[in-house]
Amino acid sequence: MPEIRLPTRRRVCRDVSLAAAALLVRPMKAEARASGARADRVVVIKSARKLMLLRAGNVLGMFPVALGAHPIGPKREQGDGRTPEGCYRIDGFNSHSRFYRALHISYPNVEDVRRARAAGVAPGGNIEIHGMPNGYGHYDPIAFYKDWTDGCIAVSNRTIDEIWASVGADTTVEIMA
């Protein structure tokens, strides 16, 4: 008789969070997306490996992502290979990074700095939403099967082009477990 495995608390919480997010967002009509509607919020759901562009609660686009090499849990210190969790802002556009386009986010925030100081460690920084590494040519994955960044959020080159055109400085970036 096969062993019956119950879902873990983490998996149940993730599934409930995804269901709640799906109820809160309404798909935007294709006409609105084609008209160049700009996103007012970027939401990353780490457990689902998804990034959503939103405007007024409507989903403009949903894309697969790769995360830090140690994706479970929030970033605690420099070099831990984790992607942060919390509320940030886009605070820079870099078209000359070592990746095909990069959007810098405002990590660490005040809470991240406080937590790192209390632990006696450096919080790290330079967290970005970026495309593929330069030199990968036209390799443009439609999905990621491995988390490989140092803590950033990686997307395909086509996706970063779409995000780049859809957001502005100070766009909210919410990263959830």
Number of residues assigned to the chain: 177
The pTM score is 0.80
Residue 57 pLDDT > 50, yes or no?
A: yes
Report pLDDT for 20: 44
Mean pLDDT check: name the lowest of 28-42, 64-78, 128-142.
28-42
* Strand order across the 26-27 sheet: 26-27, 58-64, 50-55, 41-45, 172-176, 86-94, 102-105, 128-130, 153-154
Q: Pick 65-171's CATH classification: 1.10.3470, 2.40.440, 1.25.40, 2.60.120.
A: 2.40.440
More confident residue, 138 or 19: 138
Instruction: Provide mean pLDDT across the span 135-141.
Output: 76
